Homo-oligomer: A and B are copies of this chain.
């Protein structure tokens, strides 16, 4: 690995001036990402892309910047890969823009850039455009990162939160709440140990696998901020359909359940960064479930419910003891700066 020239030093305002230090810092980034497009240092990357294009953006302000299972850099790369994947796109190129606080250690910047490079390489995407800004001490909390991304959508694929249809089976790719609880445990002082790690991971691989077995996937969504409950509510509203899920089908790790019970949180509202829900016509649902389970990211996949005729725009949960309740969107704020 190429070391940053000024590892050991701190970020100065001059690193954001556009002058010599900016230039040197950017050269360090370029060396790290080893990318001929980025190396041209033009105002835009020029790319060859064929077909329908997917385009997305997300800013990451997670606090703390390091947490069990990841850091802000890994989160920023995987998050944008996942947003592209959720319209069925194959992610190709990312941009990365960092807003850095004056005095931030350059060694930490290097660690985060390394983490981004590794995440991009694992997911087979390239970081082709970048930007850095420096803000005076106190004007920003350590570092924020924006990633935007583009990918291509194969013909025949039409996935949208507005495409849920009555009869669709709802498949969840794995356990919920891991990311939110990992962040919480890194932030608060607990009297006990939790081994919960963030599930931050790229979902482009699993999406590719399930699209191979069914082109009829209607909806894909990664339940990030607001958790599974909010994601399902958004889909119910955008598709104008009712949703029913069975609580006991939803996989939740023991560690996550324990922390939630102790603090009065519902895992259904806790953020995830490496899970998805798929809405699939019943006919294709077992094929998709099996394809998910074969993928490393979908070993614990479950059919958790279906799209129903009644209660349009609403989500109903059936509980183990035969009761049911309306599952609302998250209201208020549980955990600020989760991503």
Residues of A with Cβ closer than 8 Å to B? 12-14, 16-23, 40-49, 52-61, 63, 82-84, 86-87, 89, 93, 95-99, 128-131, 133-136, 138-141, 144, 146, 148-151, 153, 160-162, 221-222, 224-227, 230, 234, 238, 269, 271, 328-337
Q: Which residues of B contact A334 (CB under 8 A)?
A: 17
Residues of chain B contacted by A42 (CB below 8 angstroms): 86-87, 160-162
Is the beta-carbon distance between A20 and B86 smaller than 8 angstroms?
A: no
Check A22–B226 contact: CB distance below 8 A.
yes
Q: Is the CB of B56 within 8 A of A162?
A: no
Closest 10 CB pairs of A and B: A18-B225, A19-B330, A18-B226, A148-B148, A57-B95, A44-B56, A43-B86, A43-B83, A146-B146, A44-B54
When distances are taken between beta carbons in the complex, the residues of chain B under 8 Å from A83 are: 43-44
Contact A44 B86 (CB under 8 A): yes
- Cross-interface CB contact of A19 among B54, B99, B332, cutoff 8 Å: B332
Residue of B with least CB distance to A222: B43
When the two chains form their complex, are residues B57 and A46 in contact, meaning their CB atoms are under 8 A apart? no
Whole-angstrom CA separation of A337 from B52 in the bound complex: 37
Minimum CB–CB distance for A154 against chain B, Å: 11
Interchain nearest-CB distance for A188 vs B (Å): 15
**By the criterion CB–CB under 8 Å, are A329 and B47 in contact?**
no
Docked pose: A151 CA to B129 CA in angstroms: 14
CB proximity of A6 to chain B, nearest CB, Å: 14
Across the interface, do A161 and B14 meet the contact criterion of CB distance under 8 Å? no
Query: Contact at B140–A139, with CB atoms within 8 Å?
Result: yes
Q: Which residue from B47, B140, B146 sits with its C-beta under 8 Å from A53?
A: B47
Contact A55/B95 with A46-B153, A141-B135, A221-B43 known, Cβ cut-off 8 Å: yes
Q: Shortest beta-carbon distance, A181 to chain B, in Å?
A: 16
